[in-house]
Amino acid sequence: MPNEQPDITLVTVPCLSDNYAFLVHNDATGQTALIDAPEAQPIKDALHARGWTLTDILITHHHGDHIDAVAALRDGARVIGAAVDAHRLPPLDLEVAAGDVIDICGLPTHVLDVSGHTVGHIAYHMPNAKLAFTADSLMALGCGRLFEGTPAKMWVSMKKLRALPADTMICSGHEYTENNARFALSLDPANAALISRSEGIKAARAAGRPTVPSTLDEEMRTNPFLRADDPTLKAVLRMADASDADVFAEIRARKDKF
Ligand code: ZN
Ligand code: FE
């Protein structure tokens, strides 16, 4: 059966001060993929503890806190990144573009263009494992800052990610969630799902637990950056008649000043 649930393990690896890298391991084939390479040592430790060897390294975008450890970790692994960004990524063994489907750990893996934080930022979606690696595009209760793209471009990227199945795990690149929750509550103080999620986030952080990954379903109900077309949020912002992209731009501008 091609759609059989694969034997996949996901490991979240905290790196640097607030980055996350991810390991995906197929227990049946023994393959292991790394998504983003912020820092070598914690990733090497996570691999060593499980007896895993990297087969693939998937890069989401060119920022140093996502690629700096590629050279130290590649050692025979296949390094994959966006063709459009190849000039500013470590040397790639496989260049990919939006719409490509590649085989990672025996799983069909879809490449999505989620530009906005940077132009050329890609996400990787593994539908069979219900995983999406979104790095600094869609984040837990937030989205990445717009260093290169326009708000309109990021809003298109948000809608692409929002269209994935609701039970997809959103594996994003940073632990910014507690601050994101304060911002989200400032816009949307009566949102019951957001209030209860915020309590859970506070408790998780107080206990030193990551708040990433999250589910797309909870993001759709609580993340203001996925809700620029929500009439309730538009009304709060006094932008009832504004375009969705303009509302998204306003939310992002407010977050930048928060
Ligand atoms: Zn970044
Ligand atoms: Fe980053």
pLDDT tens digits for range 86-130: 999 999 999 999 999 999 999 999 999 999 999 999 999 999 999
Residue 246 has pLDDT above 80, yes or no: yes
User: 3-257 — its CATH code?
Assistant: 3.60.15.10
How far does residue 239's CA lie from ligand 1's centre (Å)?
29
- Residue 193, pLDDT > 70, answer yes
Contact 138, 225 (CB under 8 A): yes
Q: Measured between alpha carbons, how far is 214 from 211 in angstroms, rounded to an integer?
A: 7
Work out the pLDDT band at 3, boundaries 50, 70, 90: very low
pLDDT, one tens digit per residue, over 145-176 is 999 999 999 999 999 999 999 999 999 999 99
Q: Which ligand is nearest to the CA of 118?
A: 1
19 CA → ligand 2 middle, Å? 7
**DSSP line for 65-121:** HHHTTHHHH-TTPEEEEEGGGGGGSSPPSEEE-TT-EEEETTEEEEEEE--SSSTT-
Cα gap 249→116, rounded to integer Å: 11
9 C-alpha to center of ligand 1: Å?
A: 25
Answer for the pair 62, 82: CB distance below 8 angstroms, yes or no: no
Instruction: Indicate the average pLDDT of the chain.
Output: 96
Report the C-alpha gap between 117 and 154 in whole angstroms: 7
pLDDT of residue 5: 58
Residue type, 61: H
Q: How far is the CA of 188 from the centre of ligand 1 (A)?
A: 26
CA of 63 to the centre of ligand 2 (A): 6
Across 142-146, average pLDDT:
98
CA-based radius of gyration for the chain: 18
Query: Of 67, 77, 80, nearest to 38 (Cα)?
Result: 67
Find the 3 Cα to ligand 2 centroid distance in Å: 33
Mean pLDDT of 194-207: 98
Which residues of the chain form beta strands (DSSP E)? 8-15, 19-26, 32-35, 56-58, 78-82, 94-96, 101-104, 107-113, 122-126, 131-135, 138-139, 142-143, 169-172, 214-215
pLDDT per position as a tens digit, 51-70: 999 999 999 999 999 999 99
Tell me, in angstroms, the distance from the centre of ligand 1 to residue 237's CA: 28
Using the mean position of ligand 1's atoms as its centre, give its distance from the Cα of residue 17 in Å. Answer: 14
Residue 2 pLDDT exceeds 90? no
> For 210-222, what is the mean pLDDT?
98
Of the pLDDT bands very low, low, confident and very high (cuts 50, 70, 90), residue 4 is: low
Using the predicted structure, report yes or no on whether residue 1 has a pLDDT greater than 50: no
